[in-house]
Chains A and B, each alone.
Chain A
């Protein structure tokens, strides 16, 4: 392609709105602008003056896709400020709630957003019932998504904006029968998910980013909710995460970008697998031995494969928790409002989610800062598109083929635009 002005205004099969503008002159990539085109809803301004107890149910409305991750991260920041240490039972229930989210959310991305590309369709709705492979994956999609959904509903009361999870614990507890049913469903889908992993191992494309750094919150159980920040150069305390982020203003995008310790980095499933594959559930590791040898990987498309592997880890981990789980009656811990500042850090499906909140003596929010995974990956997405174009421009004769390829690169990051465009400029020193 010699000269080209390409404006992709609405990238499909992602969460929310994003666009990409490309300028090619005399066979050279002159400009690439990846931008998040969701309008801001100014949550970090809107939470000022709100009571700390009400905050998690408000900020989970930042995103319908990863809502329960926002809920859990906000709760964690609030509990840090209030010096609340929840019961072992609450820790387990929160993990189950998050496993449900991860299973549903990764399955939505892999089966509904990415898989149509593998079979040459625009949408999973076009999968043919009379093609055995398409029929299988079409039905697997709904089964796997449903089991994540059921787990979230059993524990949190709803798969989106879960009402039972609050500061201090849970307002309503699941019964053993509901959990047992979930456990049977989880265990019954292992082979289905292994088929998904094998498909992505075979079909994932290649785009190597040799210079890319990674960052992830990890603990010994790969729980997504606790641990330290591991990154390409070492590890450090999770609460300090925000101190290492460099805010980058992107004038053409509704959302801000970030660098970690001055470098472009990636957060999400690929980062977690690269930095913590040895911490996956033992049963998952045993089932996927040779596939795990592909990690660490600098192929950004392996973010898809990593998500598929994480679904299996979530199935195994959730089934393990439920196996000997006897629910005992308990109420959320009492809350004594006081002034303070606290950070919450968790792994949302798409990567590190960071909340830092300050409240006054009456428990009212004075200031809130929220850093979401897609904001952190935004610069990396643009750089990946540019790298791909610089190395492959001669391949494309038709504009439409190039558009498809760019969409698939964006999709590999599984970005979430609703999350990314929620706030006003945040600065870290």
Chain B
């Protein structure tokens, strides 16, 4: 039976929406097992197959060149990309350092240089086009479930 091929990816954030997703599994596992082909989700499995995704759910803000490149790769491999949670949708609170004053910026400069941080923390839409977003910190569960339903219908996955 055809399943919706999804990936779940996390960038800079507290991963609260990942936790909410694992809690949604408590209620929805039996149903989703028949409908979803989870091809990438590091918190649940080691294997990662990004060759062809229907929907990529991406949580977190982008804070380095490597993350930006990975996000572009995900965008390239997925037909739809959904920003999950506050950091992905608006950058905050992970983008707090964008607002630091000069003195505080100077304090963190050595770390930013050593680990190749970007100059600014970006929300996803500043790096790639997004198709949908689930706001909230953590993500709003109802909106997430509605968007998932929408894509199940759009990709003609029989419930």
Which A residues fall within an 8 A CB radius of B? 10, 12-17, 38-43, 45-46, 48, 58, 61-65, 67, 104, 108, 112-113, 122-125, 138, 142-143, 145-146, 149, 158-161, 251, 254, 407, 418, 424
Residues of chain B contacted by A43 (CB below 8 angstroms): 96
> Are B138 and A160 touching (Cβ within 8 A)?
yes
**A158 proximity list for chain B (CB < 8 A):** 138
**Cross-chain contact B19 with A160 (CB below 8 angstroms):** yes
Q: Is the CB of B15 within 8 A of A65?
A: yes
Count class of interface residues, chain B: 35 or more
Tell whether, in the assembled complex, residue A46 and residue B26 are in contact, meaning their CB atoms are under 8 Å apart.
no
| Residues of chain B within 8 A of A143, CB atoms compared | 26
Minimal beta-carbon separation of B17 from chain A (angstroms): 7
B111 touches A45 (CB 8 A): no
The answer to whether A142 and B14 touch (CB under 8 A), given A64-B138, A160-B138, is no
A125 and B93 in contact, given A62-B14, A64-B19 (Cβ under 8 angstroms): no
- CB-based contact B115/A254 at 8 Å: yes
- Known A39-B117, A61-B93, A160-B19; judge A149-B26 contact (CB<8 A): yes
Residue from B33, B45, B96, B104 within 8 A of A122 (CB atoms) = B45
Contacts of A138 in B (CB 8 A): 29
Q: How many Å from the CB of B139 to the closest CB on chain A?
A: 10
| B46–A13 touching, CB < 8 Å | yes
Q: Does B16 sit at the interface, judged by CB under 8 A?
A: yes
A-B contact count (CB 8 A): 121
Please state if A42 and B108 are interface contacts (CB–CB under 8 Å). yes
When chains A and B are docked, how far (Å) is the Cα of A123 from the Cα of B29?
Answer: 13
Q: Which residues of B contact A146 (CB under 8 A)?
A: 23, 26-27
Given the known interface contacts A62-B14, A112-B22, A161-B138, the answer about A45 and B117 at a Cβ–Cβ threshold of 8 Å is: no
Is there contact, CB below 8 Å, between A39 and B63? Answer: yes
Residues of B within 8 A of A63 (CB): 14-15
CA distance A254 to B14 in the complex (A): 15
Contact indicator A149/B96 (Cβ below 8 Å)? no
Question: Which one of A16, A61, A142, A159 contacts B29 once the chains associate, using CB atoms below 8 Å?
Answer: A142
- Where the two chains meet, the residues of B that have a C-beta atom closer than 8 Å to any C-beta of A are 10, 12-20, 22-23, 25-27, 29, 33, 38, 42-47, 63-64, 67, 93-94, 96-97, 100, 104, 107-108, 111, 114-115, 117, 137-138
User: Which residues of the other chain, A, contact B45 by a CB distance below 8 angstroms?
Assistant: 12-13, 122-123, 125
Known interface pairs A48-B104, A160-B138, A161-B137; A61-B16 also in contact (CB < 8 Å) = yes
A65 touches B96 (CB 8 A): no
B44 contacts across to A, CB distance below 8 A: 13, 112, 123-125
Which of B12, B14, B27, B115 has the most chain A CB atoms inside 10 A of its CB? B14
Q: Which 8 A-B pairs have the closest CB atoms?
A: A64-B16, A123-B45, A12-B46, A46-B96, A64-B14, A146-B26, A142-B26, A64-B15
Within the assembled complex, what's the spacing in Å between the Cα atoms of A422 and B72? Answer: 25
Question: Which residue of chain A lies nearest to B44 when distances are taken between CB atoms in the complex?
Answer: A123
Are B42 and A45 in touch, CB under 8 angstroms? no
Would B97 and A45 count as touching, CB distance under 8 A?
yes
Q: Is the CB of B15 within 8 A of A16?
A: yes
Asked, given contacts A48-B104, A125-B45, whether A67 binds B16 with beta carbons under 8 Å apart, the answer is: yes
| Docked CA distance A399–B115 (Å) | 28
CB pairs A–B below 8 angstroms (26 shown): A12-B42, A12-B46, A13-B45, A13-B46, A14-B43, A15-B15, A45-B104, A45-B107, A48-B104, A64-B13, A67-B14, A108-B19, A113-B43, A122-B47, A124-B44, A125-B44, A125-B45, A142-B26, A142-B29, A143-B26, A145-B26, A158-B138, A160-B19, A160-B20, A161-B137, A161-B138
